[in-house]
Amino acid sequence: MRQLEFIEPDRYYHIYNRGINGGNIFYSNKNYTHFLKLYDKYISSVDDAFAWYLLKNNFHLLVKIKTEKEILALSNVDIEELEKRPSQQFSHLFNAYAQAINKQNNRHGSLFEKPFRRKKIEDEIYIINFIIYIHNNPIQYGFTDCIETHQQKIDIISLKK
């Protein structure tokens, strides 16, 4: 099994995953809300979210990881743990969410394909194209025929650096 790189501070990332064997990871509107609350709890100290979409069986996030200085100021972490912090926080989010879904649905085992995928974004063109992709994906896969009527949470925050 290949070793995944830690998520680096002060970088943009495309973070994504899907349900194991393509299965659902969201079963009700409450699940979407719970995922976002856990996201805020575990991830807000290490990243700024720019765009995301959550569909029944997968999710995609566009994030910018905070700088080392910001992470140290917002987290109870020492400098030795800093390298691992963003990656660990994402793992905490996904584990907490999987445990909640397993309890809700009286199931056990993995909810997500492992490990969660991350792609470091190096250029602004990718960011722009990714935001377009996020907005069009629910339409492309037939979840809705108009983005304005799509019930999933989609949010865009300006791309100020």
Q: Pick 12-156's CATH classification: 3.90.180.10, 3.40.640.10, 3.30.70.1290, 3.40.50.10490.
A: 3.30.70.1290
The distance between the two most distant Cα atoms of the chain, rounded to a whole number of Å, is 49
Contact 88, 80 (CB under 8 A): no
52-85 tens-digit pLDDT: 889 899 999 999 999 999 988 887 777 777 878 8
**Statement: residue 104 has pLDDT above 70:** yes
119-135 tens-digit pLDDT: 999 989 989 988 888 87
| Burial of 30 per CB tally in 10 Å (0-12, 13-18, 19+) | exposed
Contact 113, 20 (CB under 8 A): yes
Domain residues of the chain, as ranges? 12-156
pLDDT of residue 2: 55
